[in-house]
Amino acid sequence: MKLTRKWQLLPVMMDFCLRRKFNINMKIKKAIVFLILLSVSLISYRAFCEELPEVGKVVWVDDGDTFVLEGGEKVRLLGINCPEKPHKDKLGECFGYEATRFAIKLLKRKKVRLEYDRIKRDRYNRLLAYVFLPSGEMANAIIVRKGFGYVLTVPPNKKYRARLLRAQRLALDENLGMWKHCKPEKEEYYYIGNLRSYIFHRPSCKFGKMTSSKNVITFSTRKQAFYQGFAPCRRCKP
């Protein structure tokens, strides 16, 4: 009789355990959702309420498109990208040293004015800014105009895209800087551009192939892609 009673109680015990496990899982899920909502709220609060510096003195230049302000804030020049210089175990890119030297000459020890777009910081917590020199000139545009960098548009930050693209077209037409000295390892017969991301790829690039047909644009040369303000894919390096 005792054994029979135990078997009769087994379904009740299993049901109790399952309910308890379900309740625990629900609590965990609710906690995760709460943490996600809290994180989003904090990010939103910071984005809209944080007081960002409008002026500052440049005390250090990391490379062609990144520098440090007095006080420690790191700034990434918005709307452009410069070739990377060698760093630790990473090989540098063509014209990386030249771009860094030019940025040092242009920015170091200068008091600059910062202007922001819709997204103010990147994933590394660097300020994203259009940087204006005491003369009123935009450093971002000067770097592109002299051929030490190229236009890199990351939506929704597009405030000065047209201005930067004009500077890039002049540098391309005059074959300045990196446009003269840096050539790709292999030229393709055509390139695939993404109208949404403003990135262009080699035909064999898996990321290029993933582009929605409504966002595809093709270019016959690299120069044509750059002339339209598209930046090269970091994976396939067209």
Our answer to whether residue 84 is catalytic in this structure is yes
Is 126 known to be catalytic? yes
Which of 5, 20, 54, 84 is labelled catalytic?
Answer: 84
Beta bridge pairs of residue 55: 113
Give yes or no: 51 in active site: no
Q: 98, 121, 126, 202: which one is catalytic?
A: 126
CB 214 within 8 A of CB 197: no
Active site residues: 76, 84, 126
